[in-house]
């Protein structure tokens, strides 16, 4: 349960002393974030783009930390970066999506974290591989680092979408199931890629009980050297945060609690019925597999599969269940059925 909502904001990258100071000062006045973020070293997909100002920007961040009593945070991609932060008294960093995908780099970073009170935010890897995300978090936890948190920044979209990265909300939900005490924040800026969608993604994150937001902001976004389309001004950020609806994770209201448990009991029964029915269905699939092999007939029967899809989609009421969702379920069941029949063919064909 989220008891301590965290706001992290600041520019995508540190560009100049004037830029970080102006942004930090406006943010501090209007939003008072928990952390001021700014990328010192920027991992760019292609060489030639702005790669950050490097170590000289650490002095500016250190001064911001002191002058505004505002904790600062930046991205690290190597053990050298962590050592640099320690020299400038910066006690928080995040690991970016590209670095998390490399367990060697993550372990090297963990190995130089001598201060166990350091605060670490682990972003998800670019590709939807929850094991890599889990593994990176475990490396920090196993090293005894106490303040380890996660940031969900969306995943590479294999198909064209209006978003820069697709949220795949089921993945951070699974991460929360694996680490019930882990604080998970959302980075709507890198999911959206455009200021227009930041508010709705932030609201969705709150409704899914995420415990904070990392949002890029810049005092003059149009001049930003990286990610300019997704940076809000501090004033826009303030207005956006004020428009969000924060909801409780639980309610003490008795009638709510009773209705919820009544409905949940019904859902429990349906889930067990679904499992029973699937088990029954797979027994029949196995029977067909045995029939097919004994008559030397192929597993895939395209006409049958086409008629299953057509008849089930026609049968379902699209107001109650979306065609896309139903098709996905049918495809999963069909894939599992083929796999079972493959196994039967493998055994009997030996
Ligand atoms: C960033 O936060 O600026 C950044 C580069 O993020 P990500 O690693 O999520 O792409
Ligand atoms: Mn960025």
Phi-psi region of 243 (alpha: psi -120 to 50; beta: other; left: phi over 0): alpha
**Dist. CA 25–CA 282, nearest whole Å:** 63
Beta strand segments in the chain, E: 6-10, 35-37, 71-76, 92-95, 119-123, 147-152, 183-186, 212-216
CB-defined site of ligand 1, < 6 Å: 12, 39, 96-97, 123, 153, 190
- Ligand 1 atom 3: residue of nearest CA: 12
Q: How many angstroms does the Cα of residue 42 sit away from the middle of ligand 2?
A: 8
Residue that is written with structure tokens 């993604």 in the block: 201
Distance of CA 124 to the CA centre of its chain: 6
In the prediction, which pLDDT does 51 show? 87
The DSSP symbol for 320 reads T
The values of phi and psi at residue 35, to 5°, are -140, 145
Per-residue pLDDT of 67-106, as tens digits, reads 999 999 999 999 999 999 999 999 999 999 999 999 999 9
Which residue's structure tokens are 């969000």?
244
CA of 43 to the centre of ligand 2 (A): 10
- The tokens for 57 are 């920007």
Residue range 309-346, pLDDT digits in tens:
999 999 999 999 999 999 999 999 999 999 999 999 99
Ligand 2 centroid from CA 229, angstroms: 10
Q: Give the pLDDT score at 350.
A: 63
Retrieve residue 243's tokens: 């428009």
- Closest atom of ligand 1 to 42 CA is 5
- Return mean pLDDT, the chain: 96
- DSSP H/E element including 203: helix 198-207
Which is nearest to 64 in space by CA: 107, 33, 95? 33
Q: Model-level pTM greater than 0.85?
A: yes
Give pLDDT, residue 203.
98
Residue 221 has pLDDT above 80, yes or no: yes
For residue 310, the CA-to-ligand 2 centroid distance in Å is: 44
Tens of pLDDT, residues 274-302: 999 999 999 999 999 999 999 999 999 99
Choosing from 37, 97, 150 the residue with most ligand 1 atoms within 8 A of its CB, the one to mutate for a pocket test is: 97
Pocket test for ligand 1, best of 75, 132, 133, 224 (most atoms within 8 A of CB): 75
Mean pLDDT of 10-35: 98
DSSP character string of 33-62: -SEEE-BSS---SSTTS----TTHHHHHHH
Q: Which two tokens stand for residue 65?
A: 């930390």
Q: Residue 110 pLDDT > 70, yes or no?
A: yes
Please tell me the residue having the least CA distance from ligand 1 atom 2.
12
**Contact yes or no for 218/235 (Cβ under 8 A):** no
Q: From CA 258, how far away is CA 271, in angstroms rounded?
A: 20
Mean of pLDDT values over 169-179: 98
**Beta-carbon contacts of residue 256 (< 8 Å; ≥ 6 apart):** none
Binning pLDDT at 50, 70 and 90, where does residue 44 land?
confident
Average pLDDT, integer, range 131-149: 97
The DSSP symbol for 316 reads S
pLDDT at 2: 79
Provide the pLDDT for residue 1.
62
**Contacts by residues 235-243 (CB-CB < 8 Å, ≥ 24 positions apart):** 235/26, 235/30, 236/195, 237/9, 237/27, 237/30, 237/31, 238/30, 238/31, 240/198, 240/199, 240/202, 240/215, 241/7, 241/31, 243/199
């Amino acid at each position: 349960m989220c008891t301590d909502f965290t706001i992290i904001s600041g520019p995508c990258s540190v560009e100049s002393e004037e830029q970080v100071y102006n942004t930090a000062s406006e943010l501090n006045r209007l939003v008072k974030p928990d952390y001021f973020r700014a990328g010192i070293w920027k991992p760019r997909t292609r060489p030639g783009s702005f790669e950050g100002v490097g170590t000289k920007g650490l002095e500016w961040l250190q001064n911001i930390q002191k002058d505004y009593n505002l904790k600062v945070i930046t991205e690290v991609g190597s053990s050298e970066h962590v050592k640099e932060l320690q020299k400038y008294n910066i006690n928080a960093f995040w690991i970016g999506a590209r670095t998390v995908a490399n367990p060697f780099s993550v372990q090297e970073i963990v190995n130089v974290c001598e201060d166990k009170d350091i605060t670490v935010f682990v972003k998800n890897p670019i590709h939807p591989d929850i094991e890599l995300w889990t593994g990176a978090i475990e490396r920090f936890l196993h090293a005894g680092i106490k303040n380890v948190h996660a940031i969900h920044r969306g995943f590479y979209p294999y198909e064209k979408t209006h978003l820069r990265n697709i949220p795949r909300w089921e993945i951070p939900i699974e991460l929360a199931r694996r680490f019930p005490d882990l604080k998970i924040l959302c980075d709507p800026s890198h999911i959206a890629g455009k200021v227009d969608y930041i508010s709705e993604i932030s609201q969705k994150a709150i409704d899914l009980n995420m415990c904070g937001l990392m949002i890029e902001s810049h005092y003059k976004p149009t001049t930003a050297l990286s990610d300019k389309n997704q940076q809000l001004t501090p004033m826009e950020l303030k207005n956006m945060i004020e428009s969000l609806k924060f909801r409780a994770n639980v309610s003490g209201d008795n009638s709510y609690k009773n209705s919820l448990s009544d409905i949940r009991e019904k859902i429990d029964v349906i889930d067990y019925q679904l499992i029973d029915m699937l088990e029954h269905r797979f027994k029949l699939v196995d029977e067909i597999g045995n029939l097919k092999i004994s008559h030397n007939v192929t597993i895939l029967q395209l006409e049958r599969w086409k008629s299953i899809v057509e008849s089930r989609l026609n049968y379902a009421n699209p107001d109650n269940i979306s065609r896309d969702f139903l098709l996905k379920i049918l495809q999963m069941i069909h894939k599992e059925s083929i796999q079972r029949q493959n196994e039967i063919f493998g055994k009997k064909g030996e």
